[in-house]
Structure formats: C-alpha cells, structure tokens
Amino acid sequence: MIEVKLSNENLQALFPFHFMVSGNLEILSTGRSISKLSNMISPGKLLSDYFKITYNGNKLSNAEIFSDNNAFVLEENINAFRLNAQCVKVSESVFLIVCLPLVDHTFNQQKFNLTLSDFAQYDNTVNQLFLAQVTKKTLDDATSINEKLVLKNRELQKTKERFELVVNSVHDIIFQTDGHGLWTFLNKAWEDIMEFSLEESIGSMFFSYLHPDDVQRNQELFLPLINREKAYCAHQIRYVAKSGKVKCMKVFAILTFDEAGNVNGTTGTLQDITMQKENAEKYELLANNVSDVVCIYDMLGSYVYVSPSVKFLIGFSAEELMGKHVLDFLDTKEFNSFEQLKAAMLDSKSHNKVLEHHIRTKDGKWRIIETSSRIIFDENSRPVNFISSSRLIEKRKRAENAIINALKDAQDVSNLKSKFISLVSHEMKTPMTSIYSGVEIMEMKAQRSNQIDQTFFRQFDIIKSEVGRLNELVEKILFWGKVESGKISTAKEVINVVDLLQNVCAEHNRIQADGRKIAMRIKGNPVLILIDPMHLRHILGNLMSNAFKYSSGKTNPELNIEFAKKNWKITVIDQGIGIPESEVVHLFQSFFRASNVEHIHGNGLGMVVVKHFVEMNDGLLKVDSKENAGTKISIAFPY
Amino acid sequence: MYGIINTAVEQLIVENYGNNTWLEIKKKAGVAEEQFVNMQPYDDKITYAMVGAAAEVLRLEAAEVLEKFGEYWILHTAKEGYGNLLDMGGNNLPDFLKNLNTLHFKVGSLMPNLVPPSFEVLELTSNSLLLVYTTKRIGLAPMVVGLIKGLGIRFNTPCNVLYLSDSSKEFSHHFKVSW
C-alpha cells in the first residue's frame, strides 16, 4: 500500500474518477466525473451498496480491498459500467480508490455523455479510446480500398478479356518484338495466316519468317525507324508460311521504349495482302492495255494498283499514287457520294456502280471522269478490294450539255409558237365572226329586195363557206395548241367501243353527199374497254373524214374492229388517192399537206392530233399508203 | 497534411459538383494520386493546389472553398469516420472549442507526422468567447470559420464568427464566436 498526500484540487484534476472512502468503505467524497456515471452515488453510503467489488470474478472482502494486492474491479449494480480500481491509503482511516473506466463493449462514453473534460488530461482510457477509434477507421479504410482494388482488378480482367477478344478476332496480325527481334507477342491471326502455332513462334526471330530474298530489303526499310529518322515504317514485304506459301504482308511498325526512354522492341501489324496482290497482278495485264484507267484499292480506299494510263488522265504516275488514298484526289463536296457508292457496293455485293465525279490533276486542275466500280471478294465471300475503271467524259458531257441546251431552246421556241398561234387565232376569230354576221345581214336584206342580182347570193354562199372553213381552221389550231401545251388531259372510262364507233360512223354516213357509207366489220368477241371516249371519238372522226374526203368517187371506206388476245385494233381503209411514198414520214408534222391534195381542203393538223391522242391512250398507229391506190391506217390499243 | 484531409476535399467536390468536376480540378491541380490514403502524410502543396484549382474551376474565392471545406469536415468527414472521437470533444459548442487542443493532442499521439494547430479559448460572456488559433500554415483561417460554423450546426447552436486578425499571414488568428 502506498501512502500519499494530495491536495483536493490536484486530486480532481488527476483522478476525475475516484472515491474517498473510510475503513468500512463508507463513501466520504467522489471525483467530479463519477456523478456522470450515476447520480445515485452520494457520500455517506457504502461503496458496496452501489458496486460489486471483485478481482478475477471473485468478490473481495474489505481486508482484501485494503490489502497490498489492491487492484480490483468495481461493477455498478444498475447501469453495469465497470471501473478498474486501485486503493491508495491516505491516512489510517481514509483511503483513496483511484478508478479508470474500463474500455470494452460495456463502456459507452456516449451513454454517459463523457467528454474529454471528464477525463484527466493524460488519462490512459482516453488514449485507448482514440487508438481504438483510429484503428477501426484505418481498418475500414483499408477494407474499402481493398474492395475498390478488387473491383478494379475485376474491371481490369474484363478489359483484358475484351482486349484479347478484339486482338484475336482481327484479321491482321498484331505483333510485338523485343530489342533483339524476337517475337514476344502475336495474336491468333498469326496462326491463321502463317500456319505456325503461337507456342513455336513466340521467342523466335521475326526475320526467320521472311522470304529469303526480302531479308536484306527488310533491314534497309527498318533502318530509318531504328535510327529514329521516322516515327513509323510502312512497307510491303514477303513472308513464308509453314506450308511454304508466300504471303505478301503490308507492314506497319513503331518502336517501343522502356521507362528510361531506351528502345526495347517494336510493335505493329502485318496485313495479309497476298490476295490483293494476286488480284492486282491479274488485272494489271488487262489494265495496261486499255485506255481506261483501272485502279485497285484496299478496303480502306488506298491505291494498291493503278494502270499506267493514269498519267494521261491526271498527270500523276501510277507509282506516285500507290499507297495514297483515293479521297486525296476527290473534291471534298463529292466525298459523300463516294461513301454512298462504297456502301451501295458492299450492300449489293456484285453489281457495278457508276459515279460521275471530279478528280484533281497533278497541276491542281479538276477534270470530270466517269468511274464504274465493284468489289472483289475472296473465296470466303469476304470483300478484299475495290476495282474501278475510269474514263474522261468531258467531251461527252459537253455534247450532252449541247443537246440539253438545244432541247431547251426548242422547247422555248415551241412555247413561243404556241403562244403566237393562240394569240393570232383568237384575234382572227373576232373579225371572222363580224364578216359572217355582216354577210348574213346583207343576204337577209338582199332577199327582201327584188332588185338584187341572183349572183350575189352565190357570192354570199362562197364568203360564208370560206369563213366557215377559216373558222374551222382556227378552231383546229386552237385545239392543237391546247394539245401541244399539255392542256388536254386523259379521262379514261370503261366503255363499249363498238357502240361509240357505230355512232361516229352513223354521223359520217349521214352527211355524205354521194351517199357512200362506211363498211364496218367486227372480228372477235367485243369486250368493254378502258379508254378516253372523247379521244377515241376524235381519232375515228378524223380518220373517217379523211377516208371519205380523199376517196371521192371510189368505193366505200372500210372500218374493221378486231378484238385479239393481247390488244384490240381499229383499221380504216380507203381506195383513194393515197400518199406519195416519200411523204408518208411527214404525215404527222403540223400543217403538212401531201403534194397530191392541193385541190382538197385541209389544214394539216388532223393526223397530228390523231397520233397524239393515240399515244395518250397507249396505242400504236401504223400507216400503209400507196399513191393512187389508197390508204390503210391501223391503230392497236392494249386492254 | 494527412490523406484524410485530401480525401475530404475530394468528397466535398464529388458530392456537390460531380465526379467530372473533381477530375477537372484534380487535373488542373496536377494531382497524380489515384486515391489518397487517409493515414498517409502528403505534402501540403497538394492540398493548397487542390483548393486553388477548385476555386478556379468553381469560380469561387479560395476563402469560400476553405470555409465550405471546414463546415463539410465537421458535418461529414469527421462525423462519418471518427464520430466517437468527435463525441469525446464535448457536448456543446464552447466545451468542444475548449477541448480542441486536447483533441489534437490525442490525435497527434496516433498520427506521428501530424502538425496540429493550437487553440486557446478565452470566455468573454456567457454566450461569447475569443478563440485564438495558432498555426504554421498560411491562409487557412477561413477554414476555421467553416469549422466553427459546422460545430454550431452540430450542436444546434447557431453562431456568428467574426475574424478579428488583420492579416492572413499572421501565425495567430483571433475569432470572436458568439451564439
């Protein structure tokens, strides 16, 4: 037992958890923080009234508490908080029991609202509490970091798997070598193309797979890269596969460096272009002998082969174009059509596609060419190349433009003519109406006057007849003007054409002064027909009129109607004066009149309108005529 | 500064402005660390660079960033990670401020590289005190304002903090705290 003397002030500061007790464990006073643990504890009561006093689980007697072996535990009866305790003899009858709250699961500083102010400044309990808290937090952080690490590792593994999948699914060989030229990595494509397994290849020298004739050249091609004169090297070189097949490879390689910046190897790709080269050679002979420029491109659009004739087309030599991209020579505005063409070719697989476009010449000018392209496929139907054939079309374009311009001019003239005819015709109709009315008034007055010579009446008839003829001509011109300007549309109906044709014939039969009649015959079974009835009436009316007019004094004109399997046909035949053979071709020109009809009235528009209407109804018109023998006009319409 | 401070700056930015903003700030500050380790000491320059970059990217004054950080530190980081330690600080605002030195002393025994500030409290009235903050670090006084305001929220004691020092370059800074 230690005997010490303490001032009350120091006692509170150094031991905020303490009890001052008498020899029978009566509480004389308590530390300032004891009241936070239990406000029931008060001086005058026995310590054993509030606490179980034990050591190693055994209850201690008063003598044991005050003995030399005086470390023990106070366990509060109600709240069960526990205090480590040690007894210090102050005097013969006064003992100081110094306590420290036990830091374990039963201790909860929050439960008792204990703060740093409640403990001594250097209290071991507080130190342990801080240590426990910081340790727990550090462990939590470590766990959290570990979990993140696990997640990152999983992501890394997935990325690695995806990377391997991509690397092994590409058709090109992806490689890495060390600084001595030994393969350190090859993807699956190496096995597919070179037929060597990865196991036997990794660790072997890359140049042992080169074609013996290309080893020296390969060294020369790699030299600028090794000397760091170039950032990469790209060239074509031959490799030899396990089976002895020669493989032409397009090489792309760059250097790799260690952390110190020293070269530690190379990496890059080998693209098998054997098939492309074979294709190129196959077409080379042909291409060298044609005036068109033949080009072969890889699937990205780089030239693999260009025929020598390109020099005459754009000034660049074939060698200058090799390896360059086709878009380098195209107008940027036309890139889109080029890409569309490429997509269309890949879509349609076999069809030739034709594109008119501009191409840049060596001296920076632009020329128009026509390029027809298609895709070359390998034996597995995989696209390997584009092949194109190009030619200059500047002359043709000029000719086309000239034709287009001429057609436009003709159209303009035609429009002008239509307007003129329409204007003149309308201007003629008014005076003709006045003349006709004037003559009728004069004739009427003459009839009322007995003094007028009868020859006047004959002259009146002539004037009226001529005005009528002129009026008819104007009407036809106006009608033709409408037809020509597209103002007459087609209105097809399902009709009984036999009835319609019979009506037309009846009208014509009725007005014939010589009493002739149309001989009408029907062959086949009549059916209902889809046609514009106004057009059909006009067609037949014209043909009937002509047949009567140009066969005066001859036999009856004939009208044959035939309903065949694929079409139906009308044929009008007369035995009249016919048309001179050389003039038949002009029959459908506006205002044309044959040389043998000068004495017969006509205006040269009837047949033009007939042909136009026949075509508007999808019909086909045929003329057979012989001068002084007669004319046969056949029209076939589809059902 | 220990990594826990830098982690708290990161959390403050991510929670309030999103991860992309944090990445932008981190890049601007030239921070190479993928992740800060809480119990590892880092150069103070990193923290200063992050605060500077945050101010630039968020278009705030550096003092505003520091004040926000002080408040965030009390209400989120310290509370979430070291709640029990914080509880030990005191049950009300003036008690906590009085215990600040002891708190840092205790933490310092566990973090050997800790360069803690010191705090002295002088009671002025029953609802105001003078806090003297002494540190070797320059320019962090606005953070203390945020810390005190955060404590005011923690103890549900709305308070006013008045910074009384003239220069941010002084080692000792005086704050009048009233509630």
Structural tokens at position A524? 């086949």
What pLDDT sits at residue A539?
92
Provide the strand spans (E) within A485-583. 493-495, 519-523, 529-531, 558-563, 567-574
Q: Does B102 touch chain A (CB under 8 A)?
A: yes
- Closest CB to A134: pick one of B35, B37, B110: B110
Of A142 and A523, the one with more pLDDT = A523
Which distant-in-sequence residues (6+ apart) come within 8 Å of B23 by Cβ? none
The pLDDT tens digits for A504-550 are 899 888 888 888 999 999 999 888 899 999 899 989 999 999 999 99
CB contact under 8 A, A116 and B37: no
Cross-chain residue pair A127–B39, CB shorter than 8 Å = no
Fold adopted by A493-638: Heat Shock Protein 90 (3.30.565)
- The mean-pLDDT minimum among A99-113, A422-436, A447-461 falls in A99-113
Residues 21-50 of B with CB under 8 A from A: 35, 37-39
Q: Give every CB contact of residue A462 below 8 A, 6+ residues apart in sequence.
A: none
Question: A275-392: same fold as A170-272?
Answer: yes
Could you tell me how many helices (H) and strands (E) chain A has, helices first? 17, 24
Helices of type H across B18-140: 19-29, 44-58, 62-72, 78-89, 93-110
Radius of gyration of the CA atoms of chain B, in A:
16
DSSP bridge partners of A372: A354, A389
In 3D, which of A41, A37, A32, A39 has the Cα closest to residue A117?
Answer: A32
CA dist B106 and B115 (Å) reads 12
CB-closest option in A109, A137, A140 to B87 = A109
Question: For the segment A145-156, what is each residue's pLDDT rounded down to a tens digit?
Answer: 888 889 989 989
Q: Which two tokens stand for residue B54?
A: 């945050």
Mean pLDDT over A281-304 rounds to 76
Tell me whether residues B84 and A109 touch, CB distance under 8 A. Answer: yes
pLDDT at A1: 47
Q: Which residue among A130, A145, A148 places its CB closest to the CB of B106?
A: A130
Please tell me what DSSP assigns to residue B152. Answer: H
Show contacts of A86-93: CB within 8 Å, 24+ apart: A87/A1, A88/A1, A88/A2, A88/A3, A88/A4, A89/A1, A89/A2, A89/A3, A90/A3, A90/A4, A90/A5, A90/A6, A90/A20, A92/A23, A93/A22, A93/A23
Any B CB within 8 A of A143 CB: no
ipTM over 0.90 threshold: no
Both tokens of A91, joined, read: 């005097």
A289 in reach of chain B (CB within 8 A): no
Nearest to A115 among B39, B99, B111 (CB): B99
Amino acid identity at B175: F
Give the pLDDT of residue A285. Answer: 60
Model confidence at A183: pLDDT above 80: yes
The CATH architecture to which A275-392 belongs is 2-Layer Sandwich (3.30)
Q: Give the residues across from A620 on adjacent strands.
A: A636
Q: Please report the pLDDT score of residue A106 as a whole number.
A: 47
Q: What is the pLDDT of residue A280?
A: 72
Contacts of A129 (CB under 8 A, 6+ apart): A103, A109, B84, B85, B88
Chain A neighbors of B87, CB-CB under 8 A: 109-110, 115
Structure confidence at residue B48 (pLDDT)? 92
CATH class belonging to A398-484: mainly alpha
- DSSP letter at B52 equals H
Of B59, B73, B74, B29, which Cα lies nearest the Cα of B47?
Answer: B29
CA distance linking residue B47 with residue B26, whole number of Å: 11
Residue A209 to residue A580: CA distance in whole angstroms = 87
**What pLDDT score does A351 carry?**
66
Whether chain B has a CB inside 8 Å of the CB on A147: the answer is no
Give me the helix-helix angle, A454-484 and A606-616, nearest 10°: 30
Contact A130 B107 (CB under 8 A): yes
What is the rounded CA–CA span in Å between residue A443 and residue A449?
10
The full length of chain B comes to 179
Most confident of A56-65, A447-456, A480-489: A56-65
CA distance A85 to chain B (A): 22
Interface check A139 vs B, CB under 8 A: no
Q: By percentage, how much of chain A surpasses pLDDT 90?
A: 29
- How many inter-chain contacts (A to B, CB under 8 Å) are there? 62
Contact A368, A357 (CB under 8 A): yes
Mapping DSSP to helix (H, G, I), strand (E, B) and coil, where does residue A4 land?
Answer: coil
Let me know if domain A170-272 sits in CATH 3.30.450.20. Answer: yes
Kindly list the residues from chain A whose CB atom is less than 8 angstroms away from the CB atom of residue B39: 134, 138, 141
Residue range A35-58: mean pLDDT, rounded: 89
Q: What is the DSSP string of A54-116?
A: EETTEEPPHHHHHSSS-EEEEEETTT--EEEEEEEE-SSSEEEEEEEE--STT--TTTTT--G
What digits encode the pLDDT tens for the residues A225-238? 888 888 888 888 99
What's the rounded mean pLDDT across residues A160-174?
84
- Å between B60 CA and nearest CA of chain A: 31
pLDDT tens for the 179 residues of chain B, in order: 888 889 999 999 999 999 999 999 999 999 988 888 888 889 999 999 999 999 999 999 999 999 999 999 998 877 777 888 888 899 999 999 999 998 888 888 778 788 888 999 999 999 999 999 998 888 888 999 999 999 999 999 999 999 888 655 567 889 999 99
pLDDT for A593 equals: 85
- Best of A115, A121, A135, A138 to mutate (most B CBs within 10 Å, chain B): A115
How close A92 comes to chain B (CA, Å)? 37
B88 and chain A in contact, CB less than 8 A: yes
Is-contact A292 A389, C-beta < 8 A? Answer: yes
Query: Would the pLDDT of A261 be above 90?
Result: no
pLDDT band (50, 70, 90) for residue A288? low
Phi, psi (deg, nearest 5) at residue A519: -95, 105
Task: Please report which confidence band the pLDDT of residue A44 belongs to, taking 50, 70 and 90 as the band edges.
Answer: very high
What value does the mean pLDDT take over residues A188-192? 92
Mean pLDDT of A557-568: 92
Scan residues 150-179 of B and list those with Cβ closer than 8 Å to A: none
Per-residue pLDDT tens digits for B71-122: 999 988 777 778 888 888 999 999 999 999 988 888 887 787 888 889 999 9
| CATH superfamily placement of domain A8-122 | Haem NO binding associated domain (3.30.450.260)
Best of B87, B98, B104, B151 to disrupt the A interface (most A CBs within 10 Å) is: B87
pLDDT, residue A286, reads 64
Measured between CB atoms, which of A113, A130, A145 is closest to B85? A130
Domain ranges in chain A are 8-122, 170-272, 275-392, 398-484, 493-638
CA distance A56 to A72: 8
| Average pLDDT of the residues in A302-312 | 87
Contacts of A121 in chain B (CB under 8 A): 102
Mean pLDDT computed over A362-391: 86
Give one DSSP letter per residue of A296-343, joined into a string.
EE-TTSBEEEE-TTHHHHHS--HHHHTT-BGGGGB-GGGHHHHHHHHH
What is the number of alpha carbons within 13 Å of residue B11 lying toward its C-beta?
19
Listed by number, the residues of chain B in 52-81 with a beta carbon closer than 8 Å to a beta carbon of chain A are 81
What mean pLDDT do residues A595-610 have?
83
